[in-house]
Structure 1
């Protein structure tokens, strides 16, 4: 089992790289049909003459994959990854066959005001495909607790 990290365990400059996830056409279409049913997410044919010029995953799908990678192989924060604020950018579309992974950097650690209140960790992370193309850039402020006494 992975050791869970508390606020005092996390340092500015900490980096990590998650495992990876390969995105399939079926997964893109299924996610879009349920959550973002726009033509450029639903089929190659309907996406061909759009801004994307082909099937593109919803940005929200890319965000969901990023979250899964962070939870399953990213920063193992005690009590889970609890978001307080986030900036999200999708500079290029996620495509079928992309093998995504996340590279994360801790840029700030704000101490908790008391032992019972949480502190915050700010991260910048990039979701990249197998060719190093940036699919999503995120800056997140995460709630992190102090280790309980004892």
Structure 2
């Protein structure tokens, strides 16, 4: 298991690949973000996005899946106190294969909870052409070694 001590500033965790499927884009939009450019090809073509695009929130959900597959599910993660920023830079399209990285920016011991560390990370996701589609800064709480036993 990865513990707080393994999240040293500068460490990089690869994310993906994750293939974006049209049926997932439309189903997520139907349930959670039913704007026309996420649901309908013609409406999407006429929009600023220029084609059917995944919801930004769907992109965040795909990123979370990639994080779990890369490091979260094999760590002492205790969740997150929040996300500092999410920037959607380009539309994510069905057929794209997303990949990227999570970089540890900072790590410090909690002042109020012994045995717990806080890490700040930045995720960058790229589409199949290597263009940045999302950048997000957030924090993760992790147990220190010995506390997870």
**What TM-score, normalized to structure 1?**
0.89
Partners in 2 of 1:83 and 1:114 — Cα distance? 16
Task: Report 1:1-150 matches (<5 A).
Answer: 4-75=1-72, 76-79=74-77, 82-86=79-83, 87-113=85-111, 116=114, 118-148=116-146
Partners in 1 of 2:75 and 2:24 — Cα distance? 28
Q: Is the 8 A contact 2:108 2:118 kept in 1?
A: yes
* Aligned partner of residue 80 in structure 2, secondary structure: strand
* Aligned partner of residue 131 in structure 1, secondary structure: coil
| Structure 1 residues 115 and 61: alpha-carbon distance in aligned structure 2, compared to 1, 3 A threshold | closer
| Structure 1 residues 38 and 5: alpha-carbon distance in aligned structure 2, compared to 1, 3 A threshold | same
Partners in 1 of 2:146 and 2:22 — Cα distance? 45
More deviation, 55-64/111-120: 111-120
Q: Is the 8 A contact 1:91 1:134 kept in 2?
A: yes
Q: Is the 8 A contact 1:70 1:102 kept in 2?
A: no
After superposition, the C-alpha distances for 1:51-95 in whole angstroms (9 at most, x for unaligned) are: 111101000000000000000123532145x12121100011101
Superposition CA RMSD, Å: 1.8
Structure 2, unmatched stretches of 5+, are: none
Partners in 2 of 1:9 and 1:101 — Cα distance? 22
* Aligned partner of residue 46 in structure 2, secondary structure: coil
Partners in 1 of 2:108 and 2:137 — Cα distance? 15
Q: Is the 8 A contact 1:123 1:140 kept in 2?
A: yes
Partners in 1 of 2:113 and 2:48 — Cα distance? 51
Q: Is the 8 A contact 2:77 2:140 kept in 1?
A: no
**What TM-score, normalized to structure 2?**
0.89
